[in-house]
Amino acid sequence: MSNFIIISLPRSRTAWLSVALTYGDSYCFHEPLLGCDSVSDLKVKFDSVEAKVVGGADTGAVLFLDNIIKEIPDIRVLVVERDAKECEISMEDMGFDHVDLTVPKNALKEAGERENVKVVRYDDLSDPGTGQEIWEYCTGQNDFSAQRWLELAKLNIQVDNEMFFKELDYQQHSIGLLEEEITWRG
């Protein structure tokens, strides 16, 4: 089995990408770190799926990327670049107050400068050429369906706000546990 992780700022179509990359022999979680008490749990979660390729699109994963790579050394990393101000405005429209994405924005910039990391622009996600690049990079497969990608590009796939806030509360708890693990592992 091969693995991938898509990292981005919030409100950068990660839910949409998780649907787009769940097809055929590929399965993509949305926010797979939710429910994980450690980065090791992410590998267990990926291994629990019967698919040739398993990955996740997770906006918090950028903060734990070093640990994810240590746990899953051959993981493919895809960065989706989106203007941080656009993301902040989108989050404020969802009900978040005083959003500041400086820390994850800087972490994403550093991640995008690493070797063996692919970077795509948010504004290009609907383009089937970009879709094919993402599909082939993340899955290692050459069975990309431009027709399916274009149909999905018409859809607005996102997490329900009520569910999002429940998941966010849980994610904050999980982040605390993950931070403890990072401190412990050094």
pLDDT 10s per residue in the chain (186 long)?
Answer: 999 999 999 899 999 999 999 999 999 999 999 888 889 999 999 999 999 999 999 998 999 999 999 999 999 999 999 998 998 888 888 887 888 889 989 999 999 999 999 999 999 999 999 999 999 999 999 999 999 999 999 999 887 766 655 655 555 555 555 555 555 444
Residues pairing with 7 in the sheet: 79
**Order of strands across the sheet that contains 76-81:** 26-30, 53-57, 2-8, 76-81, 117-121
159 CB neighbour count, 10 Å cutoff: 16
60 and 31 in contact (C-beta within 8 Å)?
yes
CA 123, distance to chain mean position in Å, is: 16
Of 160, 179, 159, 158, whose CA–CA distance to 36 is shortest?
A: 179
Question: Looking at residue 159, what is its pLDDT?
Answer: 74
Q: Report how many domains make up the chain.
A: 1
The pLDDT score that the predictor gives to residue 3 is 98
Residues in the chain, overall count: 186
Instruction: Read off the CATH number of the domain in which 56 is found.
Output: 3.40.50
Range of the domain at 170: 2-185
Q: Which two tokens stand for residue 186?
A: 């050094």
10 Å Cβ neighbour count for 97?
6
